Amino acid sequence: MLAKNAMPVPYLRWTAAQMAHIVPLLLSLVACAMLLHSTSARAQNIVQAGLPVIDARAYILMNAETGQILATKHAYRPYAIASITKLMTLYLLFQDLQSGHLSLQQQFKPCPAALHTGGSTMDLRAGVPFTVAQMILGMTVPSGNDAAVEAAHLVSGSVPAFVRKMNRTARQLGMLSTQFYDPDGLPHPNNTASPYDIALLTRAIMTQFPQYMPFFQHEHFTYGGITYPNPNLLVGRVPFITGMKSGYTDAAGHCLVATGTQDGVKLIAVVLGVPSFHDEARGFWKASWQSLKLLDWGFARTLWLPGAPQLERTAAH
């Protein structure tokens, strides 16, 4: 029942004539929404003519000099990145080296936090000194989590302070789809970044710290009597490859950032989520192969076979 003096609310009724005007309008709005979604999806994926199939969850191919994006798949979505995280750890370490806070030949003994870090390791040992240069190679080749935690302590005094610096720096670089929770990339559900963000970080390392790029070009690293191979199988095998970083967890799959230089052109290929295999060596082989296909195609398009899309059309039979 209505309260006293309350005005009844009229039912909304549409006449046939009104419906004739409203229905086409609603259909137009739906069509516009679908068009916007389709345009957004196309913007997410730039697949150029002749690009081979890249078996990965997401990828991006970027010109390191100009920032031009040559090919993408889901490049702006955040994904688990595993030890690709260490690129930010290295970037901040390079900043400290450039500022003079640290030097490559400085020696330190491992902190307790580094010694108790699990996962991949460069095998830091209690009381045994290491140099900063060895620590860098411990991250770039065997992807040592102990080396990454040690770097965090040397730069910021603690892992939490270092992670805050990682996230501040990510925002400064324009990495808006990235969130770091540790310096090493050990599994965390919210430790994610997009291929585009990783390409931005890689480009920043290449342009701001070219003097440290040789650290990414070692096929092997020996420390404490143990020789570790580089999971980036392109390093030392493909002449134009200059780095850069591998990563693997069950959630991330096999991931690889591969960089290369040909005739002055520098390209960055970020490949995330190559299907995982129980045989880890096989997974990194496949990630290396997907990255090489991207780089080869990119160099062909920029150097040897510049764009002529009309020549790529096949004649109808």
Catalytically active residues, by annotation: 83, 86, 143
SS3 243: strand
Do residues 87 and 104 lie in contact, with contact meaning Cβ atoms separated by under 8 Å?
no
d(CA 202, CA 220): 21
Q: Tell me, rounded to whole angstroms, the distance of Cα 168 from its chain centroid.
A: 17
Which residues contribute to the annotated binding site for substrate? 245
What does the buried/exposed string (b/e) look like for 76-97 if buried means 16 or more CB atoms within 10 Å of the residue's CB? bbbbbbbbbbbbbbbbbbbbbb
Which DSSP state fits 44?
H
Strand 58-63 with 69-73, pairing = antiparallel
H or E segment at 206? helix 195-208
d(CA 151, CA 132): 8
Do residues 131 and 104 lie in contact, with contact meaning Cβ atoms separated by under 8 Å?
yes
SS3 99: helix
Q: Tell me, rounded to whole angstroms, the distance of Cα 87 from its chain centroid.
A: 9
